[in-house]
Structure 1
Amino acid sequence: MSVLTQTPVPEQKSDEAHSTTKKSAFTAAQLIAALPGALRKLDPRQMWRNPVMFIVEIGAAYTTILAIAEPFLGGAAESGGSTVPASFTWGIAVWLWLTVVFANLAESVAEGRGKAQAESLRKTRTSTTANRLTGYDESGDPSAQSAVTAPVSSADLTLGDVVVVVAGDLIPGDGDIVWGIASVDESAITGESAPVIRESGGDRSAVTGGTRVLSDRIVIRITSKPGETFVDRMIRLVEGASRQKTPNEIALNILLASLSIVFVMVALTLNPIAGYSNASVSVPVLIALLVCLIPTTIGALLSAIGIAGMDRLVQHNVLAMSGRAVEAAGDVTTLLLDKTGTITYGNRQAAEFTAMKGVDDTELVHAAAVSSLSDPTPEGKSIVDLALTRGFRNDEITAGEIVPFTAQTRMSGLDLPDGSQIRKGAGSAVIAWVEQGRRLASSEHEELEGYIEKVSNAGGTPLVVATKSADGVGQILGVVYLKDIVKDGLRERFAELRTMGIRTVMITGDNPLTAKAIAAEAGVDDFLAEATPEDKLALIRKEQDGGNLVAMTGDGTNDAPALAQADVGVAMNTGTSAAKEAGNMVDLDSDPTKLIDIVRIGKQLLITRGALTTFSIANDVAKYFAIIPAMFAGVFPGLGLLNIMGLHSPASAILSAIIFNAIIIVVLIPLALRGVKYRALSASKVLSRNILVFGLGGIIAPFVGIKIIDLVITLIPGF
């Protein structure tokens, strides 16, 4: 039965930690490499996808035409009845074009990183010869069958083909191992030089095309079509070719486009209205006003922010199948975490020996150590290590026949030459083994159950140790306490998540008593004990029905339904093909704890977008005080009171605002690519901080920047 229960957790203070080393967001080399791409993006067929910058480009083109035509028309630009210098229109046109180029540059720099990563991945995608098998019936070693091997190009392999790969060969395509076990070098994909073990029949059967088999011989069934391998998808995703705008990004684009249309209508109707007061404004000035009114800053950086968010995931060796997944990670409210390998190290360690009444501690320690000397598991080795600290000596090694652990017996041990036996294993299994020779007394049984329950309540795993004499009479010696070691720092990280309103749920197959103890030690909010794949799926649906967004990790075929149901499903790269197909992210390092970092990256993406949107809107407010007084000061002297910056002239004020509007985009590109510094705060505190830092900063920066630019412009003759 599954148990979902609430675990009381004491308040924790979050630490400012877990920061990662960031690459430089904007260098001269990146700028030079991205410039050609930025110029190519001036194509109107591409620009229309960004409505705000498309309006700026139309304005730039129209202003350029006016600048060329002005000498032939004999007119000059006017602002509220004041004539401006002849070079004014050209200045507006040039800086409008630069505004568009700078916006494209932000996106081009972000895409440039992905293209560099894609190029390195392409080097792994080499055509190789594959040994395709026909007539293989999957019953075992193909060399013992009538299967026929035929060499074909890896490009000719199709879904369902079966190939044999030997040591030294490149794996020709994505697939699952159906026979054999091998050591595989996956450094071309993961960057990790240490080889990994891949074998048939488990959750580590998936292999990736382009990786190399280092040892042994395996048979693989191809699970991808030509051009749709994992590497192919990685290349398309990291270079941005298949990046789709997220729902929030689309909604924000619609909002920005709507605001831009409103301001276009304002600009179109302004001149006729102003004409009644003899305050007509020239078209270049109206275009300058329009560009300063519409939210060009966030419009220019919005796409770069999304691309940079996916790039940060790639730097963490996580491949997001869509920008929607990254955004969803930022909105996650429930985090499902497997106990083993995520919350605990997975290698249980012996922590204590508890002898039965009347049994000498030395006898228990000796029996437990002797039965574990040939145990290759981390648990067995930890028992020997603990026994050495309790007086056991290596020279006490006893010869005998090793009895390995099996799922059926749930015990392991040693059969000694004199006919006696030693066993350690699950309590019920050892008790049944002892009672084959004699029945345990009720007091003995109660004492043992008490020790087992004590270990379970502490979150550990009890191993019962017993011996049996040559005549078949058994004796329970005591219990070994195997402790699940909770990873360092998790309690603090879970406290940070709690601060952000994220609830953590530990998933485990342990009994409720053990699960409760581990959950309390780790600091998670809830736990699901004795969980089956169906229980995971039911829990995810229950959370989603309650309005929560759920994230989880998995690697096995039985995790596929839950990964597909979760809003953020992170599949391990070592897992099965079914798991990787079901999830919307793949962790190349196969580190389950990385789910916490993925949520942080998603949060940072949303925070960055919100911060720069706040800055952009505040930025526009400040520019009104430069543009509006300058436009009509000649006709309405009272507007001079609004010229709080003391700008030199209408022409210098308008041109200064346009120049600042372009330069601020370049200044903010590094922040858009690097992201606003992440802090574990609640949504209300994040909003307050954005308003204080970026809202206030967005108002102050234009006042300072426009005034400085105005002082420089006044040095130019004619202004």
Structure 2
Amino acid sequence: MTTLDTNAHSMNTHEHAQVSSQSVLNAAQFVQAVPGALRKLDPRALWQTPVMLVVEIGAVATTVMSILDASVMGWLVTFWLWLTVLFGTLAESVAEGRGKAQAASLRALQEETTARRRASDGTVEVVSSAALRAGDVVLVTAGERIPGDGDVIEGVASVDESAVTGESAPVIRESGGDRSAVTGGTTVLSDEIAVRITSEPGHSFVDRMIALVEGSERQKTPNEIALNVLLASLTAIFLVVCGTLYYQADYSHAHQSWIVLTALMVCLIPTTIGALLSAIGIAGMDRLVRRNVLAMSGRAVEAAGDVDVLLLDKTGTITYGNRRATEVVPVPGVTQSDVETYAKLSSLADETPEGRSIVELISADVAAPAGTVLVEFSAMTRMSGLDAPGLQVRKGAGSAVTAWVAENGGTVPDATDDIVLGISSAGGTPLVVAVQEAGSAARVLGVIHLKDVVKEGIRERFDELRAMGIRTVMITGDNAVTAKAIAAEAGVDDFLAEATPEDKLALIREQQRGGRMVAMCGDGTNDAPALAQADVGVAMNTGTTAAKEAGNMVDLDSDPTKLIDIVEIGKQLLITRGALTTFSIANDIAKYFAILPAMFVASFPQLKVLNIMHLATPQSAIVSAVVFNALIIVALIPLALKGVRYRPSSADALLKRNLLIYGVGGLIAPFLGIKLLDLGIHLIPGL
């Protein structure tokens, strides 16, 4: 298993362990959330939730009336109205508390450390990490903690990022390319790197994570605002209805107390969804964090639920990023062991990722002969190799090696061209290996096949995206032949070859003009404009700082197929809101049959027929409805936090399922609940 395979497996194991251990709602979480819930009873905090603010005002009013009236029913209604408000704030407090628990572990990364800052003249001074500013260059060696977010500008090192990502296996960070970004608080395990700091104190990646998981910067999304407006409108309507009922009842000689009318109003307004709405939004972002995805806004989470086009940068996203040697093909007449031996010898001086991959691929133990002079790869010669007494070996681009063979009296067999053409047609890069021995003409031994290696399991994940109705498009700077081959291997629906940053941006805008919601995955600086334009921009954590700043999500695992989880959570968020809204409205029906007959049966006995639950007394009916209205909020908190399970299906099927489960369920549950409560409540003395 490769290091990258090990990383992926380790992360997968960690992620499932993390989710399973933290997703269970227990009594301790409720207890810890109570102080926060009590603080949220402050009207200044509650005004953003108009439904619950109205309930609190009603609770205050019934408290005053109960003091004046001193009736058992008045005090029972008052007590449960206060509990209704408390349960509503408890739901939000529990959701926030789960994020705060994660933030506490992140704060451990912010311990102030010393840093070795390098001045422009090359001198090094030891300073506090708090004194670092963007642009400073620091040296970090094995065993030291990286003092701030930045980019590696010199060297290569393995880095332990487990404190940020949960990943136990180290990752490689090196200068240049798209794996140069490092996060403050992570630890260098080997070698030494020079890091240019990119963040100011208090504005690091970890600072942003802490603020976001605590929910302090969570803004209400357009969908959430629209639903709040709807709930406020329904609340206003029922306020008017209940207010006018007082005078209608008085006119019809069925006088009602304001306590009863307040109870009716609280039971009829959408308190269930009003109490849980904020918790649903917070929990959506929390579920992303538990899957190692940092969402910069709730808006991005919601947008993910509506994504229907996904654009993915090829290099580092669909493929591992560096071309790797996958096979060595000998020409006719040359043994496999011979061509592998000379291919490895020719790569000993090649420090490029491709050269290192050749050395790793060939297991044979090969040592350079005595007196060897290594020939390093250069852009001018396009070859690398070695010169030893009586032996010269070269490896490089086909045209360069062919010319070298001709200069040294050799000829290139026709089979070489066939092998090179076959590798090129498959989207790979051919490197020709040749040798010249003492007294002989140079000759070609074989061809090394370099290719962009597609990440394991990615094709299956793209199949899942297709089942969810999401079209995948690979974007690459490669030529059309190479792009086509990689696209076919990865299983994407389409590709854009030889793409510039402007081309990526134009493609996203074209899709958006067509009414599509576009998500973009990328990791490079050249992906930043597209990540910023996309409705959902998912930057890989292994990518550059520019990419992470441009996106509205950061995948800490750097797994492009994580978008499946992101989309599922986005859809889950929207479906959960819809399901609980449906339930909240449906369960009002039972309350009509409980409270309205209780209010008017004394003056209009014929309304007794509406008492289909056969509730014992008008007073117990009203109190039972109020108690159920409060308890159902607590019962639904786990569902609000966990979310309604999403299954890929059509919108019609989802709507039918929603109505069947939460519409019918919301209709039946209150009839059963209110009846069961009434069996005990009517026994209370004085009621």
Question: Normalising by structure 1, what TM-score?
Answer: 0.84
Runs of 5+ consecutive residues of structure 1 not aligned to the other structure: 1-17, 72-85, 144-148
Q: 81, 84, 97: which is aligned to 1:112?
A: 97
Give the Cα separation in 1 of the matches to 2:359 and 2:156: 29
What is the aligned partner in structure 1 of residue 593 from structure 2? 625
Partner of residue 146, structure 1: none
- Partner of 1:635: helix, strand, or coil? coil
Counterpart secondary structure, 1:332: coil
CA offsets 1:308-362 (integer angstroms, 9 cap, x no match): 1111121122222211122222222211223344434557666665555676667
Pair 120,684 (structure 1): closer, same or farther in 2 beyond 3 Å = same
Task: Tell me which moved more, 181-190 or 614-623.
Answer: 181-190
Which residue does 2:312 correspond to in 1? Answer: 337
Greater mean deviation of Cα atoms: 639-648 or 452-461: 452-461
The alpha carbon displacement at 1:111 in A equals 0.7
> Which segment is superposed worse, 686-695 or 93-102?
686-695
Deviations 1:529-556 (A, max 9, x none): 2333333222222222222222223333
Distance 1:520 1:682, change over 3 A: farther
- The question of 1:296 aligning with 2:271 is answered yes
Q: CA RMSD in A?
A: 3.3
Q: Structure 1 residues 413, 154: closer, same or farther in 2, change over 3 A?
A: closer
Q: What residue is the counterpart of 1:706 in the other structure?
A: 674
User: What is the CA distance between 1:256 and its match in structure 2?
Assistant: 1.0
Give the conservation status (yes or no) of the 8 Å contact 1:497–1:503.
yes
Q: Distance in 2 between matches of 1:458 and 1:421?
A: 27
Amino acid at match of 2:390: D
Q: Which region of structure 1 is more displaced relative to structure 2, 599-608 or 406-415? A: 406-415
Query: Which residue of structure 2 lines up, in the alignment, with residue 251 of structure 1?
Result: 226
With over 3 angstroms needed to count, the CA separation of the structure-2 counterparts of 1:544 and 1:216, relative to structure 1, is same
Q: Which amino acid aligns with 2:401?
A: V
Residue in 2 that maps onto 1:639? 607
Residue type of the alignment partner of 1:503 = R
1:7 alignment counterpart:
none
Partner of 1:46: 45
CA distance in 2, matches of 1:222, 1:383: 34
Q: Structure 1 residue 226 and structure 2 residue 201: aligned?
A: yes
Q: Supply the distance in 1 between the matched residues of 2:596 and 2:416 (Cα, whole angstroms).
A: 87
Please tell me whether residue 717 in structure 1 is matched to residue 662 in structure 2.
Answer: no
Say whether 1:455 aligns with 2:440: no
Maintained 8 Å contact 2:410/2:442: no
Conserved in 2, the CA contact under 8 Å of 1:26 and 1:669?
Answer: no
Q: Which moved more, 1:448-457 or 1:505-514?
A: 448-457
Name the amino acid aligned to 1:324. Answer: R
Cα separation, partners in 2 of 1:465 and 1:288, compared to 1, 3 Å: same
Aligned equivalent of 1:576:
544
* Change beyond 3 A, Cα 1:185–1:518: closer
Aligned to 1:517: 485
Question: Is the 1:297–1:616 contact (alpha carbons within 8 Å) kept by the matching residues of 2?
Answer: yes
Q: CA deviation at 1:294?
A: 1.1
Larger relative contact order (Cα-Cα within 8 Å, sequence gap ≥ 6): 1
Decide which of 95, 107, 124 is 1:122's aligned counterpart: 107
Alignment partner, residue 307 of structure 1: 282
Superposition pairs for residues 489-638 of structure 1, below 5 Å? 489-638=457-606
Q: 2:398 aligns with which of 404, 416, 427?
A: 427
Hey, what does 1:676 align to over in structure 2?
A: 644
For residues 147-203 of structure 1, give each alpha carbon's deviation from its aligned partner in whole angstroms, at most 9, with x where no partner exists.
xx5554433444444445555544333333444555544333233344444444443
Mean CA deviation greater in 470-479 or 675-684: 470-479
Q: Which has the larger share of helix?
A: 2
Match of 2:12 in 1: none
In the alignment, what sits opposite 1:191? 166
Q: Which residue matches 2:9?
A: none
SS of structure 2 residue aligned to 1:278: coil
Is the CA contact (8 Å cut-off) linking 1:499 and 1:682 kept in structure 2?
no
In structure 2, the partner of 1:82 is none
Q: Does 1:103 align with 2:78?
A: no
Query: 1: CA distance between counterparts of 2:31 and 2:278?
Result: 20
Question: 3-state SS of the aligned residue for 2:505?
Answer: helix
**C-alpha distance after superposition, 1:344-395 (max 9, x if no partner):** 455766666555567666765665465457777886687678877xxxx758
Residues 345-424 of structure 1 mapped to structure 2, 5 A cutoff: 345=320, 354-356=329-331, 364=339, 367-368=342-343, 371=346, 401-423=373-395
* Cα separation, partners in 2 of 1:569 and 1:438, compared to 1, 3 Å: farther
The total of aligned residue pairs comes to 671
**Aligned residue in 1 for 2:617:** 649
Amino acid at match of 1:337: L
Whole-Å separation in 1 of the counterparts to 2:449 and 2:262: 77
What are the ranges of 5 or more consecutive residues in structure 2 without an aligned counterpart? 1-15
Deviation at 1:558, TM superposition (A): 2.4
Q: Is the 8 A contact 1:353 1:365 kept in 2?
A: yes
CA distance in 2, matches of 1:70, 1:233: 53
Q: Which stretch has the larger CA shift, 362-371 or 664-673?
A: 362-371
Residues of 2 paired with 1:650 and 1:410: CA distance? 93
Show CA shifts across 1:551-595 (max 9, x none).
223333222222222222222333332222222222233333323
Q: What residue number does 2:4 align with? A: none
The answer to whether the 8 A contact 2:478-2:497 is kept is: yes
Which has the higher mean CA deviation after the structures are superposed, 320-329 or 623-632? 623-632
Deviation at 1:88, TM superposition (A): 0.9
CA contact (8 A) 2:212 2:296 kept: yes
Give the letter aligned to residue 264 of structure 1. L
Distance in 1 (CA, whole Å) between partners of 2:164 and 2:179 is 16
Q: Distance in 2 between matches of 1:188 and 1:433?
A: 52
Secondary structure at the counterpart of residue 531 of structure 1? coil
Is this contact kept in 1: 2:349–2:377, CA < 8 A? Answer: no
* Residue identity opposite 1:252 in structure 2: L
Structure 1 equivalent of residue 659 of structure 2:
691
Shift of 1:705: 1.2
Distance verdict in 2 for CA 1:526–1:70, change over 3 Å: same
Tell me the distance in 1 between the aligned counterparts of 2:483 and 2:628.
Answer: 59
1:440-472 CA deviation, whole Å, 9 max, x = no partner?
Answer: 78xx66x65544443344444434334446579
Residue 391 of structure 2 aligns with an amino acid whose one-letter code is G
8 A contact 2:344–2:358 mirrored in 1: yes
Cα distance change of structure 1 residues 448 and 616 upon mapping to structure 2, 3 Å threshold? farther
Q: CA deviation at 1:611?
A: 1.7
State the secondary structure of the residue aligned to 1:681: coil
Assess, with a 3 A threshold, how the Cα gap between structure 1 residues 658 and 408 changes in structure 2: closer, same or farther: farther
The answer to whether the aligner puts 1:238 opposite 2:206 as a matched pair is no
Determine the structure 2 residue equivalent to 1:80: none
Residue in structure 2 matched with residue 37 of structure 1 by the alignment: 36
Cα contact 2:270–2:584 (8 A) shared by 1: yes
Q: Which amino acid aligns with 1:243?
A: R
- 2:316–2:523 CA contact under 8 A, matched in 1: no
TM-score with structure 2 length normalisation?
A: 0.88
- Matching residue's letter, 2:50: P
Aligned in 2, Cα 1:344/1:95: closer, same or farther, shift over 3 Å? same
In 2, are the aligned partners of 1:572 and 1:580 still within 8 Å (CA)? yes
Residue identity matched to 1:627: I
Question: Conserved in 2, the CA contact under 8 Å of 1:341 and 1:592?
Answer: no
Aligned to 1:327: 302
Task: Tell me which residue corresponds to 1:26.
Answer: 25
Q: 1:461 to 1:613 in 2, by over 3 A?
A: farther
Q: Is the 8 A contact 1:313 1:319 kept in 2?
A: yes
- Deviation string, structure 1 residues 503-539 (Cα, Å, up to 9, x no partner): 1112233332232233223321111223333332222
Distance (whole Å) between structure 2 residues aligned to residue 587 and residue 502 of structure 1:
19
SS of the aligned residue for 2:460 comes to helix
